[in-house]
Structure 1
Amino acid sequence: MWVLWSMTLVAALAVAGASASEQIPDDFPRFQVPGREKPLDTLRRLFWLHYPGAGPKATLWDEWLSLASLWPAVDTGGYADSFRQQWKQVLSARVIDAEGYVATHQHASIAHPLGWPFPFWNQGRRTAGWHFSFKDTVGPGWRTDKLSTPDDWQVLHAESAGVTEEGWKVILTGANSSVTAPPCDVDPYESPFLQLRWKGKGIEDAQPYIEWTTREQPEFSPERRFYFSPHAGDTIHYEAIPMYRHPLWKGDITRLRIGFGNPKPGGEVVIQAFFTQYDTRHNINAQNFVRGCAMYFWWTRDLNFLRQNLNRMRLALRYLMTEHHTLQEKVVDTRWVGHEGRSGVRYTPDGKKQIVHGSGVGNNYWDLLPFGAKDVYATVHYYDALRKMAEIEQEVIRNPGWNMPRGVYAFDPHELLKHAEEVKAAGNRLFWNPQTRRFAPVDADGVMHDYGFTFLNLEAVAYDFATPEHARDILAWVCGERVVEGDTAQGKDIYFWRFAPRASTRRNIDYYFWAWISPEGIAFGDQVQDGGAVLGFSYYDLMARLKVRGADDAWNRLQEILRWYEEVERAGGYRKYYDGSRPGTLQGGGTAGGLGLDMEFFESVLVPQVMLYGFLGFQPTGDGFAIDPRLPSGWESLRIDRIRWQGLTLAITVTPTAIRIEKEGDSDEAPLVRLPAGSWRATGKTANGEQRQVNLRMVGQNLRRLEWRGLREVVLARR
């Protein structure tokens, strides 16, 4: 992520760091394998370091952090209950606009109020902006430093009442009042939106609008008019006006007018700011919101939450299908202005650099990289969201007593799964580079931009998006067995940073959003998104290895990460380890660097999750759970305790032939469980040690009803 960060986030990080330095509570989960105590104790310490900061953040973390913070049954300090309450509140409060777009919820900025905090207007070339007050506005570095005055504005049927603490106050003395900005030079491509920060009184029946002139059409006209809603109230409202949707928003814009559309005199408005705005929305928010909601529900079985949010999840997914044309194109096709997937930093044939302002706006976590257009990263996450939404819909149908809304928003789960397979097939054709044998972004011109993005490819494998053949090719490349000609990092150098593969393996000086103007001035590996590395995404490396190469390969990779982390601990932590005495510069809290480990890299908490979701193979569902263990050859068993599944606390031990579940608490409903293929029998034990046979009956395809009421322990054994 980019080097700038908000003060509120830095403050939150300070709190998380203070928590992480405390002694590990006794009720924090343990990973137990006979003979592997030392490395797994190290893994537990790594987990605890990042766990206190793993609550909800911006929308793009909804899936990643919910995976890690919802299951540990840490009652000490109230962590478990607090995290669950936080996730419920935050997910339920995620803003979804009238069209179905899920807001990004990153820190304050002067970019799109529902988007990423940059780029913003004063980073542009042909943009314009007037700020009459900085009250409650993001601080220096994220906005212009100069306040405007209304001296050069033209006022019609209104009177200027001066600039107050909140902004420019205008009294509407007549009907159809308006204010006209000074002359400007605005390129519509750099200004797909206008943002008006304002409030008003007595304008409830007004129909405000924007008008503009161009060099070719120097007079204002109703033909070039774009309406928006009035805002009456006591607080400043941020109105993002989508000018790009008007067919005459083109040419060279020379004047801008705000018409208040008031039918009678008597109202008043306060204008805090008025400026052009890039489209900084993300096309991965819906996917992350849907999966975060699913994960929360599966771990908690909070029926009230699902009832409140189910149609919001459906709306978010339908927005992707329509706005990003997925039903027609079978991939995410983003056509927003500036999101065409083309770089904003380009070179002519003679080597001259060109900066194309407005081009290459980011779409996801990797915010310097364009992606966009036929967006492979968004498509991989869309595929996974489809499958998770299908599971939710199946559970709703299977449990009519939950009383969940159906109606026009509901999906047919079989159609979702069918569509997911279409997306997988189309994506493996469109985004696969047959020369390098890996996935890469494709821009609106059909040009592929292949810089060896390991994060993209490993997530594609882990989410089962890659075909088996493609998955094997990807792992052979990442593991250094297959050399891609022209890559900067090859073979063992892909894991130069040890804790994770480099984020990219080919030097990138020409595939960025336009404001990252001097990538050539930063060495390969000294920037996270160009040869650097992020610890958290080793989780997908581990899960991909587990899927393709097996448990031994994944365990060997995890051990290397843990050996590195033990060195970090001996040095006194990440910052002391990377103090200049060895290669590597840390990014975080406002400082640029090549390695993402702490500070805003909350996803570092993902790495230990391979124990639960990978080796143990545990997956919660709304009405049960699945267990599909995958143990390395040297492990006789694996036990994970303090698993807070819905209202119970579980400790699960798996061996090659049996699954033992100890539980604290009880429920009068029997869960549906999915087990590996084969014949299984179940026995149980009550709290006083009485042995019982347990009914484990098939109720559907690979679904068994586990009648464990009144039992403290259940053993599932292969027949």
Structure 2
Amino acid sequence: MKKWNKVLSAFLCCTLAVAAMAGCQPKDNYTYYEYDAQHQSSDKMLRFYSSDAGLDAFLNDYRERHMRDTEDRIHTHPVGAGSTAWKEWESMIGSWWDASSANGTMSSFYATKEWVTDWLLSPRQDRQGYIWADEGNDISSWGMGWAFPDYQNGGIGWLFDTDDESEGWYLGNASNASLTVENSNLIVDTAGATEQIELYSPLFERSTLVAPFLRMNFGFTGTGSYDIDDLFVYYTTDKSAQWSEDKKVSFSELCTTGFEIGAGNVSQQGFFFPMYLQEQWGAESRTRVTQLKIVLAAEEGTSFEGRLNFDYICTDFDDRQPLNLCNYIIAAKNVCEFAQDDDLLARLLPNARRAMNFLLSQLKGAGGLIDTEYFVGHGNDGLKGIGTGLGNGYWDVLAFPQVNLYCNISFYNALNAMSYLENMAQYYEIESDPVTTLGADMKSVVTYAETGSSLNELAQNCREKMQKVFWNEKTGRYHAGKRDFYDTVQDHGYLMFNEQVIASGIATKEQTDSILSWINGERKVAGDASTGEDIYYYEFAPRFNTAEIGADFYWLYSATFDGNVQNGGTALHLAYYDLVAQAAGDKNVSFARLKTIQAWYEKVKAAGGTGWDFYHKYYDNYTDIGIQGGPSGGTIGVDYEFLEAALLFAAVPDAYFGMDTSYDDTLVFQPSLPDAMDFWKMENLTFSGYYYDVSVGQFFVQISGVNEYRKGQGSRNAKLEIRMPKPAFQFKVYLNNAETANYRLEDDQIVIETKFGNVKAEIKKI
């Protein structure tokens, strides 16, 4: 789960200067604390217990409301049922405890782990390896990427919603068939054997700039014996009004999920054609498409009978998102690392490898940084030209340069996650068939050839490049990239991304200090709209950004500072990154932030809101701050579609327990307990087929309550690794209350390795 932990530990603890950081700081003040863990919960739900009862009450109440599985739920949409853009966060929320219905912990509808695992097992993935947002069958579905923009934003589409209205489509003279409209479908039925069906669109005129893709939902059912050559799409343009072979594409070759039809059928579903790859179509404002012709043809010298039907035909933007690929790989790692299930890994690995192929090939990640040039309209020159600035992920209205920080943070995390999966596959001796995908031209073949080692090397290359390419010496923080063509720095104080850079272990020690001094108000950046204490104006999390976005939105959107979550506003999941990033600098500063969030939550709760109205009761009656979500708009995201708000409580294991895993069936804890705490415990966690509880103190780590998840399911090879800072005083190490010499010193850390089970490791002063 803590993807950055091992990278960060190795990097931060290698010098004396970094040893002063909270997570690695030797302790010289020792007070013995008598503690022996006792299991307290009566169910299998994740629960927090500590020496701070108020904190426990807050965390447990927050978890209950935001996991949405009780009457106090803040919304009914399950955490886990989000689109692909949410999958990294959903897997971070529910992979390390029993967020499932298998043993009755959660109802099946709200079982986060099951939602995520089911999605991982059956993603919509095309022949290039790209991971879609959803099936794309309905015209309103997100398809490959996102809900907007669509054909209504300058393109053209035919929905056939009115019976007996073909909307101008007609059959060619060579077609031995009839044309009707039934149940909002355009239907072509052959009237006996025919060599081909020719279906023509009405005349129109649309720029390929707003129509790089052709999208259609169609199906074909044949009767008798036949052999279909292919389904072809011809087009004419304002420059070439004649039908010709150089203005033709085929379903089997260009469609991203196409195949040879032959003697089979085509089940009705949504299909996408990247027409911009065709030379005569392209993606320029100077080319305008004027008509379409769809031809279903039998093999030469043969004929067929059957029905060809269309639910819709429309143009579309290239709304594919690089983060879909990264999210799949990261989510696969997050689920597999705690399950340690070799069968599950074997089933997910080919999908992850195909996704990585796309990142390395189409998006040029093999060079160290990914580049969105392959996606039409995904650049940003700051001019908001038509069809530009399309979103690359969850932050959907922000325009970024083709080489940008946002995408490459996720790429770096995906490289580390894929390296983990490859090492895990090697450890479990998983063998699989070679993986290939289609290349950028939809013709060439790319063979996956990465190993855990090669991916790790590429991750380090990516990290080093990011430290240089995206660092702004003038502002002392990371910028989003340099605008395309103009090479001007795009720096709007993207606080979210800067904290992600720290949490992922990308930033250097010096960069981390500089970023945190800006966020914590110790220094101000000239030109920022928000500085000092105002950065935390919304209390529970810092603002998403601190400087006006201006023209760096996608071309159909704009908002002033403090007018949107993505321009001066914030959302609850930013609190997770804030706590983890602050902990990388000082655990006590991070903990103070957590206590501030607790105070804010208690204030909200005191307003008396319940269920869906929990946050609205406070904000609608006692503030002028609007909530974004559902029927309302505003500058904060805390409920409704903000499923990722549940991520907040995942900061506890990541920022303070140092929870991690190794691919070889090892659970790792490297705690950094705040000074104000005597102990902190989490109950009902899961690892490698076991339930367990974990408690940490200033000088101890205890694993207790170990039970098999199901009889015979617990791994007999599961291991435990505990890392604690070497104290400045003379000490002895105890394992289960017995002195032991079975530990090693590594970078000022005491490292204890033992079999996974009920274990207490403790340092005592002598």
State the TM bucket, normalised to the shorter chain.
0.7 to 0.9
Distance 1:476 1:597 in 2: 27
Q: Indicate the larger mover: 227-236 or 502-511.
A: 227-236
1:671 equivalenced with 2:719 (yes/no): yes
Please tell me the residue identity of whatever aligns with 2:290. T
Alignment pair present for 1:48 and 2:96: no
The Cα shift of 1:707 comes to: 2.9
Task: Tell me, in whole angstroms, the C-alpha distance in 2 between the residues paired with 1:257 and 1:699.
Answer: 72
Q: Is the 8 A contact 1:332 1:376 kept in 2?
A: no
**Corresponding residue number in structure 1 for 2:624:** 583
d(CA) in 2 for partners of 1:204, 1:453? 56
Q: Deviations along 1:555-587, whole A, 9 cap, x unmatched?
A: 111111111111110112201111153121011
SS in 1 for 2:129: coil
In the TM superposition, residue 242 of structure 1 has moved relative to its aligned partner by 0.8
What's the counterpart of residue 244 of structure 2?
221
Matches within 5 A, 1:21-420: 27-34=44-51, 36-52=52-68, 53-73=78-98, 77-79=104-106, 82-105=111-134, 109-110=139-140, 113-124=143-154, 127-133=155-161, 149-151=166-168, 153-158=170-175, 159-172=177-190, 174-202=194-222, 205-229=228-252, 233=265, 235-250=267-282, 251-263=287-299, 264-328=303-367, 330-343=369-382, 346=383, 356-400=385-429, 403-405=430-432, 409=448, 411-420=450-459
Q: Deviations over 1:297-341 (max 9, x none)?
A: 112222211011112212211210111101125344443111113
Offset of residue 265 of structure 1: 4.7
The answer on whether the counterparts of 1:532 and 1:594 sit within 8 Å (CA) in structure 2 is yes
Higher relative CO (CA 8 A, sep ≥ 6), structure 1 or 2?
A: 2
In the TM superposition, what is the alpha-carbon distance from 1:148 to its structure 2 partner? 5.7
Per the alignment, do residues 329 and 424 of structure 1 end up closer, same or farther by CA in structure 2, a change over 3 Å counting?
closer
| Cα deviation digits, residues 175-227 of structure 1 (max 9, x gap) | 23311211111111111110121111237513111111122211111111111
Rounded to whole Å, the distance in 2 between the matches of 1:513 and 1:186 is: 20
Contact residue 699 and residue 705 of structure 1 kept, 8 A: no
Match of 2:672 in 1: 630
- Tell me the CA shift for residue 542 of structure 1: 0.7
Query: Which residue identity lines up with residue 92 of structure 2 in the other structure?
Result: L
Q: Taking structure 1 as reference, are residues 210 and 161 closer, same or farther at Cα in structure 2, changes over 3 Å only?
A: closer
1-structure distance, mates of 2:44, 2:305: 64
Is 1:475 equivalent to 2:507 in the alignment? Answer: no
Please name the residue that 2:761 is paired with.
Answer: 715
Q: Give the letter aligned to residue 168 of structure 1.
A: L
C-alpha contact (below 8 Å) 1:672/1:705 kept by paired residues: yes
Code of the residue aligned with 1:51 in structure 2: it is M
CA distance in 1, matches of 2:751, 2:329: 24
1:115 partner SS: coil
CA shift at 1:111, angstroms? 6.7
Q: Name the counterpart of 1:508.
A: 549
The alignment partner of 2:543 has SS state of coil
The alignment of Structure 1 onto Structure 2 pairs a total of residues equal to 657
Q: Is the 8 A contact 1:169 1:268 kept in 2?
A: yes
SS at match of 1:665: strand
- Does the CA contact (< 8 Å) of 2:342 and 2:428 recur in 1? no
Aligned equivalents of 1:33 and 1:271: distance in 2? 60
**What are the Cα deviations for residues 43-96 of structure 1, in whole angstroms up to 9, with x where unaligned?**
221122112343342222222122222333478843298444333222111122
Q: Distance in 2 between matches of 1:310 and 1:598?
A: 33
The share of aligned pairs that are identical, in percent, is 24
Residue aligning to 1:640 = 682
Structure 2: gaps of 5 or more residues: 1-40, 69-77, 253-259, 436-447, 709-713
Q: Secondary structure at the match of 1:121?
A: coil
Cα gap change, 1:705 to 1:436, in 2 (>3 Å): closer
Contact 2:227 2:304 in 1 (8 A): no
In 1: Cα distance, 2:561 partner to 2:370 partner: 31
Does residue 569 of structure 2 align to residue 532 of structure 1?
yes
The one of 423, 439, 443 aligned to 2:478: 439
Partners of 1:435 and 1:341 in 2: CA distance:
22
Contact 1:362 1:372 in 2 (8 A): no
Q: Does structure 1 conserve the Cα–Cα contact (< 8 Å) formed by 2:682 and 2:695?
A: yes
Q: CA deviation at 1:283?
A: 0.4
Decide whether the 8 Å contact of 2:213 with 2:275 is kept in 1: yes
- Structure 1 residues 407 and 240: CA distance shift in structure 2, 3 A: closer
Asked if the contact 1:526–1:585 (Cα under 8 Å) also holds between the matched residues in 2, the reply is no
Change (3 A) 1:681 1:410: farther
Partner of 1:488: 529
Distance in 2 between the 1:168 and 1:406 partners? 41
Task: Write the distance in 2 (CA, Å) between the matches of 1:630 and 1:619.
Answer: 13
1:683 corresponds in structure 2 to: 735
Q: Which amino acid aligns with 1:226?
A: V
Aligned residue identity for 2:484: A
Distance 2:315 2:305 in 1: 29
Contact 1:111 1:278 in 2 (8 A): no
Which secondary structure state, in structure 1, belongs to the residue aligned with residue 683 of structure 2? Answer: strand
CA distance in 1, matches of 2:398, 2:116: 29
Other-structure match for 1:141: none
Aligned partners of 2:290, 2:751: CA distance in 1, in Å? 66
What amino acid does structure 2 have at the position aligned with 1:593? G
Asked if residue 557 in structure 1 is aligned to residue 593 in structure 2, the reply is: yes
**C-alpha deviations, 1:497-549, integer Å up to 9, x for none?**
11111112112231212222xx35xx53231111111011110011001012x
Encode CA deviations 1:622-665: one digit per residue, 9 max, x unaligned: 40111111111222222222212232222212222221111322
Change (3 A) 1:700 1:258: farther
The question of whether the paired residues in 1 share the 8 Å contact of 2:135 and 2:270 is answered with no
TM-score norm. by structure 2 comes to: 0.80
Deviation at 1:151, TM superposition (A): 3.8
In structure 2, distance between residues paired with 1:112 and 1:260: 27
Q: Counterparts of 2:195 and 2:684 in 1: how far apart (Å)? A: 67
Distance 1:704 1:371 in 2: 45
- Per-residue CA deviation, residues 118-150 of structure 1 (Å, 9 max, x unaligned), is 1110122xx221111499xxxxxxxxxxx9624
Q: Relative to structure 1, is the Cα distance of residues 704 and 37 closer, same or farther in structure 2, using a 3 angstrom cutoff? A: closer
CA distance in 1, matches of 2:549, 2:162: 37
**Contact 2:44–2:105 (CA<8 Å) still a contact in 1?**
no
Report SS of the residue matched to 2:620. coil
Q: Which amino acid aligns with 1:532?
A: G
